[in-house]
Amino acid sequence: MRRLSARRSASARPGRAALTREVFWFVVIGVASTVAQALLYWVLRHWSPPVPANFASLLAVTVLNTEANRRLTFRGSAVRALQAHLAAGGLFVLAYLVTSGAVLLFRHYRPTASPAAETLVLAPSFALVTVVRFTVLRMVVFRRRHR
C-alpha cells in the first residue's frame, strides 16, 4: 500500500513542477509584456488616437509574447510557431476588444485625460486578459497530449 502511495505522489510531482515552471515563466513574460505594451501605447498615443495606438502596441507585443511563451513557458510542446501564432490570434481579438473598451470607456468619462492616464487604465485591463490568455494557451493551444 505504501509503494502505491509513493508511486502516485512521485508521478504527480512532474505535472506540478511543470505547472509551477509554466506559471513562473508566464508571469515573467506577462509582466514584461504589460510594461512593453503600456510604454509602446504611451509613445504611440502622442501621435495617434487611442484605438490605433492600442492596436499597434498590442499587435507588436502579442507576437513577441506568443513566441516567448512558446519557447519558454510551454517549451517541449509539439505546436509549431505559425500554428501557435494563428491559434493565439483569437486571443489577440479578445485582448484588443477588452483593452480598447477600457480606454474608450475611460475617455468617455475623462475626455481630457492624458495618454499617461489612459496607460494607467490600459495596463490593468491587459493584465486581466493575460490570465484568460494563460488558461486558453495552456488548455487549448499548448495542451499536452497524454498517451
Q: What tens digit of pLDDT does each residue of 83-121 get? A: 899 988 889 999 999 999 999 999 999 999 999 999 999
User: What sections of 1-147 are H helices per DSSP?
Assistant: 2-45, 50-68, 81-87, 89-109, 115-136
Single pTM value for the model: 0.81
Distance CA 105, CA 99 (A): 10
CA distance 133 to 30: 10
